[in-house]
Amino acid sequence: MAYKQIANINIENAEIMSRQGFDRDNFGKKSICVFLDMSPEDIQSLVDEGWNIHVTRPSENFPEPRHFLPVEIKYDVPEEYENLQPRIYMYVEGRMDHRVTLNERTVSKLARSRIVNIDITIRGRWIEDNPDTGDGHIKAYVSVMRVTIAKPDDAFAEKYAEEEYPEDE
């Protein structure tokens, strides 16, 4: 299999199609779809590189077609590739000095949170579809994601902040 050097994609203030991707889908995977608000030239460049970019169909939710990239949140990597596990951090709006590191079990909290902002670094891995021709595509994975959630509507939130958002191990 031919190795390809693939540059990461960094998206500040990313928009996702649905928070439900933070929970497992029917195949037991966690994945999100990240909208790509880029110029047509930049989109075409990513397609030419082999990124698996899709376009929404016009609907009530998306009257205009939008480009998006399915991005997998993959924790089950072999031990020797442990550095490839996603690093996902959650911050509470107004408390940016306190972060919670999310793991495979706790990342699903984001499916039930009011997300204010997402900054994400997406890494790619070349998947060879046809070994004879070398044809393939780039599979997208979360490398680093920093998610800010809305401050709770709770008069006592500050008093119990440490108990409400403990650091997960």
Asked whether the beta carbons of 46 and 53 are under 8 A apart, the reply is yes
Residue 67 to residue 44: CA distance in whole angstroms? 11
Residues forming a β-bridge with 120: 11, 145
Q: What are phi and psi of 122, to 5 degrees?
A: -110, 125
Three-state secondary-structure class, residue 101? strand
121: pLDDT confidence band, cut at 50, 70 and 90? Answer: very high
Residues 6+ apart with CB under 8 A from 124: 6, 7, 8, 9, 51, 138, 139, 140, 141
Residues 41-63, mean pLDDT to the nearest whole number = 92
Alpha-helix runs per DSSP H in 73-122: none
38: pLDDT confidence band, cut at 50, 70 and 90? Answer: very high
Q: Tally the C-alpha atoms within 13 A of residue 121's C-alpha that lie toward its C-beta.
A: 12
